[in-house]
Amino acid sequence: MNLFDISIILIYLSIIFILGIYSRKYIDNFSDFMIAGRNVNLSLSIVTLLGTELGLVTVMYTAQTGVNGLFSSFHIGLAAFLVTLIIGLSGFVIVKLRQLKVKSIPEFYDLRFGKKTRVLGAIILVTGGILNMGLFLKVGAIFIQTIFGLDPDSTLVFVMFILITLVLIYTISGGMISVLITDYIQYIILSLGLLLAVFYSILNLGWTSLFTSLEEIISISGSPRDIYNPINSMGAAYISWQMILGFVSAVIWPTAITRALSIKNPEMVRKQYIWSSISFLFRFIIPCFLGICAFIYFDGNIVANESLSLMPQYLKEILPFGFLGLVVAGMLAAFMSTHDSYLLCWSTIITNDIIEPLYGKSITSDIKIKLTRMIIIFLGIYIFYWGMFYEGSDAIWDYLGITGAIYFTGAISVVVIGLYWERASSVGAVLSLIGGLSSIIGLEPVRNLFGINMVNPAVIGLLCLGISFSLMIIGSIIFPDKENKFSNHKKKFKKQTNLFKKFHFLEISLFILFVFLPISLGPAKSYLSMFFSWKILWQSVFIFSVIAYMIVFLRFTFKGFLGLKEILKK
pLDDT at residue 500 in the model: 54
What does the alpha-carbon distance between residue 32 and residue 539 come to, in Å, rounded to a whole number?
Answer: 43
Residue pLDDT, tens place only, 140-164: 888 888 888 877 666 777 777 887 7
> Across the chain, what does the average pLDDT equal?
79
What does the alpha-carbon distance between residue 386 and residue 138 come to, in Å, rounded to a whole number?
Answer: 9
pLDDT at residue 344 in the model: 79
Give 499-522 as a 3 state SS string. Answer: HHHHCCHHHHHHHHHHHHHHHHHC
Who contacts 226 (Cβ-Cβ below 8 Å, separation ≥6)? 72, 232, 233
Residue pLDDT, tens place only, 403-422: 888 888 888 999 999 888 88
DSSP 8-state assignment for residue 46: H
pLDDT at residue 391 in the model: 65
pLDDT at residue 36 in the model: 46
Low-confidence ranges of the chain (pLDDT < 70): 1, 19-41, 51-52, 152-154, 173-180, 182, 222-223, 259, 264, 303-305, 391-394, 454-456, 485-532, 567-570
pLDDT at residue 459 in the model: 82
pLDDT at residue 253 in the model: 81
Chain centroid to Cα 390, Å, comes to 21
pLDDT at residue 289 in the model: 95
What does the alpha-carbon distance between residue 534 and residue 532 come to, in Å, rounded to a whole number?
Answer: 7
pLDDT at residue 51 in the model: 67
Of 442, 196, 505, which Cα lies nearest the Cα of 325?
196
Hey, how many other C-beta atoms are within 10 angstroms of the C-beta on 225? 12
pLDDT at residue 293 in the model: 93
pLDDT at residue 493 in the model: 60
pLDDT at residue 37 in the model: 46
Of 32, 45, 91, 102, which Cα lies nearest the Cα of 267?
91
What does the alpha-carbon distance between residue 36 and residue 262 come to, in Å, rounded to a whole number?
Answer: 7
- This prediction's pTM: 0.84
Identify whether the C-beta of residue 561 lies closer than 8 Å to the C-beta of residue 181: no
